[in-house]
Structure 1
Amino acid sequence: MNRLSTPTAATPFTTPWGTFDLTRFPEDPRERLRAWDAADEYLLRHLAGESDSAQGEATELTGRTVVVLGDRWGALTTALAAALTTASTTPSTMASTALSTAAPVQISDSHLGRQATLANLARSGAAPDAARLLTTRETPPERIDVLLVRVPKSLALLEDQLHRLAPAVGPGTVVIGTGMVTEIHTSTLQLFERILGPTRTSLAARKARLIFCTPDPALDPGPSPWPHTYALPGDIGPASGRTVVNHAGTFCAERLDIGTRFLLGHLPVAAPGARVVDLGCGNGVLGTAAALASPGAELVFLDESHQAVASAEATFRANLGPDAPAEFLTADALGPDAVPAGSVDLVLNNPPFHSHQATTDATAWRMFTGARRALRPGGELWVVGNRHLGYHLKLRRLFGNCELVAGNPKFVVLRAVRR
């Protein structure tokens, strides 16, 4: 966890191509977590030929298709946009390239990461087309000359994305990964080796490492094993025995989360025509169960992860059919960009309490605040959470009320009503 000594919304990130004020998203003047870390610094210094691992030799970027996978808050994309813009407009012995050719391509699963990237690019003074932003669900470039990978927390997401990008990687592609030492494991290196080619790591620098992979065109990694499916247990109410579909990177892709299971045992029934939101939907188990328990309800599935929303839609369709009405939104915490204020009758929520490697209640607080804004008077927010997190205190502060619906030694189900 990277913390500064004093709270600040924007923190300076010094790179070989300039210093940039970067923030996470949404911006919060009290935020103490930086939008970059030593792994981002190490990779950029290596590309510029300024690290010991580079041995003074810079990686050629000009006129090449540069893809950045998993850039968390846009630090790498913002710096590379500046580097490629400078290279494409500065006379040199190499051929000059147009800005559209120079733009790096970012591939991200995170809506929040995308919004942070857009804000950080704008803050840096970059042109609107200085970078091309794609989601993990969109078609990647047909050819990749330089592939830069910020190792994700989810090994499954890395596996799936390497499979998706492998056809665009050729024998001359430069492949470099980066991450903190605690994020790079033997299994991480084995994925690069199995899907792309021979792999080695650098020495550690400020607790960060680089991964160097040499693509092998003769390698056949086979198809991606994702998505996975499993059947729900038979004792959880209307969703008993139903199919769950999980795209890579989705929370609890192999089994039912025990917190979700506890809420399923106390799931409220919505009236016909009621608008129900599965907030932070993950693979969509809660919303699908609500649709089965409440025929005629209008379901909305919302998550900031593109992989999660795709999983929720696949789960819903597998159980309700291809024509059943529902909305699937990639957005942040029921903010104004998601649903109109006062338009929702019931919100179901199993909030996360991690952001990458950091433990934080910021996401839960945004979800609760967004739910209160979205609910109609008399509308209800149902939350399941670990007992020790003390969500009842936040809900009472925000809603003015909070009822304990059910509890066990580990979890509580809470109900707050919009007055």
Structure 2
Amino acid sequence: MSTNNTTTYSTFAVLFYINRQKVKKNGLCSLMCRISINAEIAQFSAGIDLDPALWDAKVYRMTGRSRHAGEVNHHIKQLTEKIHQFHKEILDEQGYITAELIKNAVTGIGRKKENLLELFRQHNEEYSKKAGINRAEKYIVIYKTVYKHVERFILTHYGVEDIPLRKLELSFIEKFDTYLRVELGFAAHTISTYTIILRKMVRLAIGQGILRKNPFATFIPEQPPRKRRHMTQEELDKFMCTPIASKALCHTRDMFVFSTFTGLAYVDLCNLSLQHIYKERNGSMWIRIKRQKTGSECNIQLLDIPIQIIGKYKPEQKGDKIFDTRSITTVEVNLKKIAKLCGIEKQITYHMSRYNFATLITLSQGVPLETVSRMMGHKCFRTTQIYASLIRQKINEDMKRLSERIGRQYKLPDNETRDNDIKYQKTKANRIWKEEQ
């Protein structure tokens, strides 16, 4: 099982053997792989154990017709093909080849992820390690879901288990969009979220030097209609003022109101501790905290209501944490109950409090967009501009209600009435002029 490279190297060979010197307790030996190029040799474990009595060293295969023998021989065949593929790719890309380079490529040492799903898996594994530390845990579920859809799409429409990143074209994401929209029947918001994540994988590949340009750069997805994600002033008033007997629901409401007046996401509220609160010389109280999601710093002045909420729960503080918080699942369930008690028909989610801060508390009260961006810890100024568009939407809604309220109170005179008024005014003016003469 050897391949000659007559142009660059005289020998290139791949062979398999078993390590008979290290027999395991179960009587099996490790299967080893040896790559040789000219006088250089690199060897590594093939990651499988077998019975040494069934190994045929002449053909590098197991004998017999057992299921295990078939699996081992199939593994050897696939690994051989993989080694030859890496040999060609490395030689084409770098212009030279060594046995160690091929070994590292096969074992993944120092090798960049060349395929889409391979890079996707690496991203998800790294993200999972950071989840709950500096990444929100709920997003790993979304990434894993998108991975499964991309994996199924590639297998169904391309007939392969993975696709090289360098072979990605604009048609790939266009077909994926159609797959989600037509075959799976997903809503516009879901499709938008999934394609954003897919494009993120391409950006990772560009950042790692695997791709030189974005194959999806010219793709313009159909944008779903943006829903209003903040409460109206009337809804917020109901939410804050409706009497609630349950202590657990009151706690959830207070946390929501605190975030409405500070803009803190729930995970940052949970992390909020005494070290994040400081007092200026003029007596004002401030929060200085880094967002867990982005790592960017937020600087927020505490208004009267959040200061009152901190004081209310001071006796319940544990350690240096400002609040004894509940799980986000419990909070979301409680918010539904509170909305029902307050007579609010729309679904209330905790993240809506952050939108409330941007729209009702700051921008609509004349706070500049740049200041709001710093308080909310946005890395990109365009993110804050989304809230500005919501403010315009709110103004339109307010003006519509104003128009309905005063529309019948005022009206212009018709043409006949206006002509008679003008004629009367002229007659009156002439009479006054004659009297003065």
TM-score normalised by the shorter chain: which range applies? under 0.3
**Which structure shows the bigger proportion of residues in strand conformation?**
1
Q: Under a length normalisation based on structure 2, what TM-score does the superposition of the two structures give?
A: 0.22
Q: Under a length normalisation based on structure 1, what TM-score does the superposition of the two structures give?
A: 0.22
